[in-house]
Amino acid sequence: MRALICGISGQDGAYLARLLLEKGYEVIGSSRDAQISSFSNLVRLGIRQSVRLESMALNDFRSVLQVVSRTQPDEIYNLAGQSSVALSFEQPVETLESILSATINLMEAIRFLDRPIRLYNAGSGECFGDTLKEAAHEETPFRPRSPYAVAKAASFWQVANYREAYGLFAATGILFNHESPLRPERFVTRKIVAAACRIANGSGERLRLGNTTIMRDWGWAPEYVEAMWRMLQREHAEDLVIATGQSHSLSEFAELAFRYFGLNWQDHTDIDPLIFRTTDIPYSCGNAEKALRITGWKAQTDMPAVVRKMIEAEG
C-alpha cells in the first residue's frame, strides 16, 4: 500500500506517517517546497529518512495532478492548510483558500485520473460551534464561529458532494482537539505546558492567557491518526466524529500542568482580555459512539494523561 500525506510536516502528518510505516506502507509526504522544508517533526520521530518527499502546491491544480499521477497512491490524507483557529481571525482569506483549494484540487485530481484512490479529509469539531453543553455527533448541525471553522465546514460539504455526485471514496474525520508534544507553542495547550516547565525551572516569567473558562474535548494525537486510517479501511466511506467524549476547561488544563510541579497556576498567570477571541465557543465536546461502533476506535488517553505526557516530553 502507498499513501500520500498532504501536510506531513505537521503534528498529525508526522504521527500518521509513523503509523503507516509501522503498518508496512510506502509513505510519501508533500510540502510546498520539499527541498527547503526542515520536516523537524519527522526528524523528531526518527522517520525522516523513511519517507519519500515531494514538492506540491495544493492551491495549484496542475501541481496536484502531477504529483498524484506520478506517485499513484492508494490512499491520500488531506491534512494540509492553515490549522490555527486564532490565526484564522488574522488571516481569514488565506485560511479559507488554503483549506478549500487543497480539498477541491485533490478530489478533482482523483476524478480526472479515474483511479480507486481513497481520500481522508481533515475536518474539525470547531464546525459545530456552541452545542449548548451537548456532545456533538454526526447529525448535529454546523454553526461555525471562526474563519477556520467556516473553511472546514465548507470543505466537509465539498467532500460529501463529491462522494455523492461522483462516487469517490472520500470521508471527513470530524476531529475534536487532539494534542501532543509536536504542537507548536502558538497552540494554547503547548503554550501552557512549555511555560509551566520553564517557570518550574526558575524562569520567573508570567504566562498570558485569554478566556480560561472555555471547555474543550482534548485527546491524544497519536491515537487520533489511527482513527483516520481506520476510516479508509471500511467498505464504504462515512464521515465520523472522533473525540474523547469528555470536556474540560482551559483553567483545568493549566491547573494540572502547574500542579505537576507543585505550583498554583494562578500565581504565575495573567488573564489578558486583548487575546480573547472575537467569537469563541464556550463548550465543545464530541460523541464518537458511531466511530466505536463501525471502526472499533475509542480514545484511550484522557485530558489529565495528555497533560502529563506533554510535560514529560517537554524535558
Q: Would you call 126 a catalytic residue per the annotation?
A: yes
Per-residue b/e over 30-55, b at no fewer than 16 CB within 10 Å? bbeebeebebebbeebebbeebebbe
- Whole-number Å distance between alpha carbons of 315 and 297: 30
Give span(s): CATH 3.40.50.720, the chain.
2-180+219-246+285-301
Give span(s): CATH 3.90.25.10, the chain.
188-214+248-281+310-314
Q: Are strands 219-220 and 215-216 parallel, antiparallel or unpaired?
A: unpaired
Per-residue b/e over 197-217, b at no fewer than 16 CB within 10 Å? bebbeeeeeebebbbbebbbb
* Active-site residue identified among 15, 77, 148, 224: 148
pLDDT 10s digits, 65-111: 999 999 999 999 999 987 778 788 889 999 999 999 999 999 999 99
pLDDT 10s digits, 157-198: 999 999 999 999 999 999 999 999 999 998 999 999 999 999
Cell numbers 509551566: residue = 196
Q: Would you call 224 a catalytic residue per the annotation?
A: no
* Active-site residue identified among 124, 146, 155, 284: 124
What pLDDT is recorded for position 276? 85
- Whole-number Å distance between alpha carbons of 17 and 303: 24
Q: How many residues does the chain have?
A: 315
Kindly state the cell numbers that stand for 156: 466537509
What pLDDT is recorded for position 88? 84
What pLDDT is recorded for position 87? 84
* Active-site residue identified among 54, 126, 179, 252: 126
Predicted structure pTM score: 0.95
List the chain residues with pLDDT less than 50.
Answer: none
Cell numbers 482551559: residue = 250
CA dihedral 292, 297, 302, 306 (to 10 degrees): -150
Pick the CATH number of 188-214+248-281+310-314 from 2.30.38.10, 3.90.79.10, 3.90.25.10, 3.20.20.80: 3.90.25.10
Q: Would you call 124 a catalytic residue per the annotation?
A: yes
What pLDDT is recorded for position 141? 97
What pLDDT is recorded for position 32? 79
> Which SS3 state, helix, strand or coil, does residue 235 take?
coil
CATH 3.20.20.70 correct for 2-180+219-246+285-301: no
